Amino acid sequence: MWPKTITAFLGGLLLSVSMMLSLYLLIPLAIDIKLLIGLLAGFSIWVAAMVYFYSFNNPKTSALRCGKFLLLSVAINSLLFWYQSPL
Amino acid sequence: MNTQSMSARAIKSPQSQWVKNLTESHSWIGVIISPLLFLIFWAGAVTLFYEEVKQWDVVPQFPVALEQNQVPLQQIVEDKLAQHDFDYEEHLMVQMPSEHDPYYKVFLDLVREEGKQDEHGEVVSLLIDPNSGASVANRDDFFLGDFIYRLHYDLNLPGGAYLIGIISLFFFFALVSGVFIHAKKLFKHFFLYRNDKNRRDQLLDLHNVVGVMTLPFTLMYAISGLVFNLAIVYQIAFVVFIYQGDQDTLFKDAGFTLFDEPRIEQSIDMTRAYEIIEQTRQRPDFYLRNVIFYNYGDESAIIQLRGNDLAHFSQKDEFFYRVKTGELLNKTDIENYNVFRKGREIIATLHFGDFAGVDVRVVYFILSIAICAMIVVGNMLWLDKRTLQQNVSQRTISLVRGLTLGGCGGLIVATTVAFFVERVLPAGMQARADYLIASFILTLVMAIVLSYSISNKRRYLTQMIMLSCLVLTATIAADWYLFASEIIQLTRQGFYGIVGVEIAMLLMIISGLYIVRKLSQSPSQQALSLQPVS
């Protein structure tokens, strides 16, 4: 259970940070609203990712899925940062 | 919400395998976080009555007659500045008296010693009688309320806030995974409690019913706990990726106003500041909570006034004034607010349950105690199952059993001991707060150690409850022996918190005796999992 926990905790953290940044860049709202949405969505994504990673039978499958999602999310983030200024 | 039995029915389908994995994770994580989660909810339940506990603790020691004329705030502040070596580079904070707490509290940063300019210096926190202007005590000497509050949010440990944040995260996971595990029966078995079934089914029903019925409350607590204790993670991400290292701009966008103007070393009469404070105090539907002075006595002086808008839900107002000109530099009120900051304040209001009367906090307290029971029952279910399995070591089972009984039970005994010690220690005693902390830790450690060495766990549980009842009785007796006339006089003046805390202690004693009676009536069924298997 420990390897799965490490994947769920760290993978969930990285994925949530990455997705939260994408959300921030995509939502066309005032900065203070985006910050609040980002904070609440960040924790929700983190826990949703943990539930997803814990649902696999073994830690290896869990880590592989985590890696795939993370790569996809980082790629989207890179594109967003490339095409628009964060502030 | 441990429903391991449901996953045993059809392990071949991917869906049930998914549920089985989640069930294993739910129970595994639940057991690991259970001692700290119990501590968080227990300390949080007591902290719901922070103001009342503080009143019970301090006011009988230094009774205040509210009808007398109060000393002007300016005189109080300037007297304290004359008496202490205040560092004028730092800010000075005054907490105003309230209906629960009649004293002014003045916080002064003292000048740092030579060679230690980079460190945070000593802060003096004075409790001041509003009628005489005299410092009656150091605020930190009466540490009980703050000690329990800090146990709740940072365990009184450096870095403890992050640990509590991580526990909140896993608690959030346990809740969400519990919903998935229990999803099929969530509505069908909403109120199901099978009193006629075997012990395991009863425990499972108790765990599930409490889990489902408290779900909105627990979700709110998990999310708010994360917002308070682990927001640093996203703060760092925002600063690094969005704000390119500019943390001040992030704080500004999040609605936190910062003034860090340097002193210009030209003195000014601060009377204007106190006129502004008095004007602000007179605003309709406004309660001024505290005042912060920046650059006190200098031409660059600024005052920050913070208080509650009593006409709107969870509205905290804030005003910044330049003392020299009386100019309003910045304000936050119902018409000018930042969504992030307002959102955070609403989360805090929901978390503390201070948006209505005592009744709401009593409901919060009952829910918190129910969650404490759910945590213990979750551990009992885990112990029941693992005791029958061959693949879990006896050492692990013994550790969980000891922590559940000694840790959770010991925490309650330690809290009662802390209340007793706080009441009987003399007010002027040196290092008073240290004795309080030592008594709490010693009791807790002894309870845990004894839980491993005493074989009859059930009798030990009964003894712990009886000891708690005895200590609480002694505390009430000490209250009346030491402060009978003060308590009567203060209650007449409207300080109901003191008697309120005593009534709460009395109810705890009655509940404890009821549980002891129940335990002695059912010889073998209850608390079985806390017994080692022979």
Kindly list the residues from chain A whose CB atom is less than 8 angstroms away from the CB atom of residue B176.
Answer: 47-48, 51
The answer to whether residues B130 and B71 touch, using CB atoms and an 8 Å cutoff, is yes
| CA-to-CA dists, residue A37 to A87, B141, B473, B509, angstroms | 16, 41, 49, 45
- Minimum-distance CB partner of B253 among A31, A40, A48: A31
Q: Do A33 and B339 touch (CB under 8 A)?
A: yes
Q: Do A33 and B340 touch (CB under 8 A)?
A: yes
Neighbouring-strand partners of residue B332: B318
Please give the Cα distance from B245 to B260 (Å, whole number). 19
Three-class DSSP labels, B97-147: CCCCCCCEEEEEEECCCCCCCCCCCCEEEEEECCCCCCEEEEHHHCCHHHH
Q: What contacts A11, CB < 8 A, 6 or more positions away?
A: A49, A53, A62, A63, A66, A67, A69, A70
Q: Is A43 on the interface with B (CB under 8 A)?
A: yes
Name the minimum distance, in Å, from the CA of B339 to any CA of chain A.
Answer: 5
Q: Do A54 and B22 touch (CB under 8 A)?
A: yes
Residue B312 is assigned to a structural domain of this protein: no
Neighbouring-strand partners of residue B125: B107
Neighbours of B199 (CB within 10 A): 14
Kindly list the residues from chain B whose CB atom is less than 8 angstroms away from the CB atom of residue A56.
Answer: 21
Question: For the range B242-247, what are the long-range contacts, defined as Cβ-Cβ under 8 Å and sequence gap of 24 or more?
Answer: B242/A21, B242/A24, B242/A86, B242/A87, B243/A86, B243/A87, B244/A86
Size of interface A-B (CB pairs under 8 A): 85
Q: Which residue, chain included where needed, has tokens 């509210």?
A: B66
Residue B413 is assigned to a structural domain of this protein: no
Which tokens belong to B186? Answer: 């969530």
Predicted pLDDT at B457: 82
Kindly list the residues from chain A whose CB atom is less than 8 angstroms away from the CB atom of residue B338.
Answer: 32
Please give the Cα distance from B297 to B290 (Å, whole number). 18
Positive or negative torsion for Cα B340, B345, B346, B351:
positive
Which tokens belong to B161? Answer: 């806030």
Q: Which residue of B has its CA nearest to A62?
A: B21
Residue B91 is assigned to a structural domain of this protein: yes
Neighbours of B351 (CB within 10 A): 17
Name the minimum distance, in Å, from the CA of A64 to any CA of chain B.
Answer: 17
Q: Do B242 and A87 touch (CB under 8 A)?
A: yes
Give the structural domain span for B118: 73-141
Q: Is A2 on the interface with B (CB under 8 A)?
A: no
Amino acid type, B163: L
Neighbouring-strand partners of residue B320: B304, B330
What does the pLDDT profile of chain B (534 residues) look like in tens digits? 444 444 444 445 667 888 888 988 998 999 999 999 999 999 999 999 999 999 999 999 998 876 666 889 999 999 999 999 999 988 999 999 988 889 999 999 998 877 776 677 788 999 999 988 999 988 888 999 999 999 999 998 999 999 999 999 999 999 999 988 887 776 666 666 666 667 777 888 888 888 888 999 999 999 999 999 999 999 999 999 889 889 999 999 998 887 778 898 899 999 999 999 999 999 999 999 999 999 999 999 999 999 999 999 989 999 999 999 999 999 998 998 999 999 999 999 999 998 888 999 999 999 999 999 999 999 888 888 887 777 778 888 888 888 888 999 999 999 999 999 999 999 988 889 999 999 999 999 999 999 988 888 888 999 999 999 999 999 999 999 999 999 999 999 889 999 999 999 999 999 999 999 988 876 554 445 555 543
- Minimum-distance CB partner of B253 among A17, A35, A46: A35
- Diameter over CA atoms, chain B: 81
Kindly list the residues from chain B whose CB atom is less than 8 angstroms away from the CB atom of residue A40.
Answer: 223, 227, 343
- Write down the domain spans for chain A: 2-83
- Minimum-distance CB partner of B223 among A1, A36, A43: A43
Please give the Cα distance from B166 to B470 (Å, whole number). 36
pLDDT at residue A67 tops 50: yes
Residue B412 is assigned to a structural domain of this protein: no
Residues of B within an 8 Å Cβ radius of A: 17-18, 21-22, 24-25, 28-29, 169, 172-173, 176-177, 180, 223, 226-227, 230-231, 233-234, 237-238, 241-244, 253-255, 338-341, 343-344
Predicted pLDDT at B4: 47
Total number of domains in chain B = 1
Q: Is A86 on the interface with B (CB under 8 A)?
A: yes
Positive or negative torsion for Cα B451, B456, B457, B460:
negative
State the pLDDT confidence band at A75, using cuts at 50, 70 and 90: very high
- ipTM (interface predicted TM): 0.94
Which tokens belong to B74? Answer: 């300016």
Closest by CA to B165, choosing from B229, B208, B221, is B229
